[in-house]
Amino acid sequence: MKERKSTADWAQTLAQATSLDDPIWQMALNDPRKSVQTLVGRYQRQCLAQEEARQQHEQRLTIERDLFQNKGAQYIAGVDEVGRGPLAGPVVTAAVILPRDCSELVGVNDSKSITAKKRAEFDRLIRQYALAFHISVVQNPLIDEVNIYQATRLGMLDSVQKLSIQPDYILLDAMTIDSPLPQMSLIKGDQRSLSIAAASILAKEYRDQIMKEYGRIFPEYGFEQHMGYGTKQHLLALKTYGKTMIHRQSFAPVAQTQKLNPQVLDHFLK
């Protein structure tokens, strides 16, 4: 009589199943032990999630593949920004050119829709597999000078122009830039295009690191927690400690704050 697989053996076998069409599932279902059926349910759910992620990945490549096949594009740059809404800190933009085969990036999505842990891992993978990428930082003085919308457009243009490979098509998330290159502005582009989603992750990770550093410089504001957005904590800190050199002076809650943080008083008096 053939010895049955142990539960540990089933766990190892089921973990290697890549499709629900794999005959290993039926074999496992024939094992009446409750511990094995628990494993079957767990790994089937994981397999379903992986298949759904692959399908979503293919969907996010639809626009790029159309441009490759029907527009003769060779290099497509996805462009996105992070930080238009905060009261402090820069706006950060990124441009990314991905290879046509992006199987290593299954799961990449809009930076706001994935966990911080996943975002950090995808940031590493995008940097590893991208054909080219560039991240640009637009500081608050220029934001105050030209307004946040124009500052973002300037950052996006800079990101594209400084790519080591010049693209022949640009995909942007609900924006346009002053570039002679053909471009497409996509509503919710960071959810519809893998290239834009990758750019959003690079920009988000880079800006978060900047704001965490500002959190160490100005610990009373909690920048590492709210990343400069106008949270209750941030507004209370503005009222209590005053505005700093990294605050956007033209944004209403900051403009209405008369008090200056003593650490940066000299900066404002120059």
Task: Give per-residue pLDDT as tens, 255-265.
Answer: 999 988 877 54
Tens digits of residue pLDDT in 73-116: 999 999 999 999 999 999 999 999 999 989 999 999 999 999 99
On whether the CB atoms of residues 214 and 73 are closer than 8 A, the answer is no
- For position 3, what pLDDT does the model report? 62
What's the confidence (pLDDT) of residue 13? 79
Report which of 223, 241, 245 is spatially closest to residue 141, judged by C-alpha positions: 245
Whole-number Å distance between alpha carbons of 30 and 67? 48
Q: List the one residue out of 112, 125, 108 whose CA is nearest residue 193.
A: 108
> Residue 264: what pLDDT?
57
Q: Amino acid identity, residue 28? A: A
Domain spans, the chain = 7-58, 62-213, 214-269
Sequence-separated (6 or more) residues with CB below 8 Å from residue 137: 90, 91, 92, 155, 206, 210
In this prediction the pTM is: 0.85
d(CA 177, CA 209): 26
Residue-level pLDDT at 204: 98
Quote the Cα angle for 175-106-182, to 5°. 30
What is the pLDDT, as a whole number, of residue 219?
A: 94
Helix (H) or strand (E) holding 99: none
| Sheet containing strand 91-97, strands side by side | 132-138, 91-97, 76-82, 169-173, 183-186
Beta bridge partners of 132: 97
Q: What is the per-residue pLDDT for 37? A: 84
Which pLDDT belongs to residue 229?
98
Rounded to an integer, what distance in angstroms lies between the CA atom of residue 113 and that of residue 11?
30
Can you list the residues of the chain whose pLDDT is less than 70? 1-3, 18, 264-270
Q: Which of 157, 210, 202, 187 is closest to 63 using CA atoms?
A: 187
Tokens of 33: 């032990």
CATH number of 62-213: 1.10.357.10, 1.10.10.410, 3.30.420.10, 3.30.2000.20? 3.30.420.10
- Copy the structure tokens of residue 66: 């159309």
Distance CA 217, CA 73 (A): 45
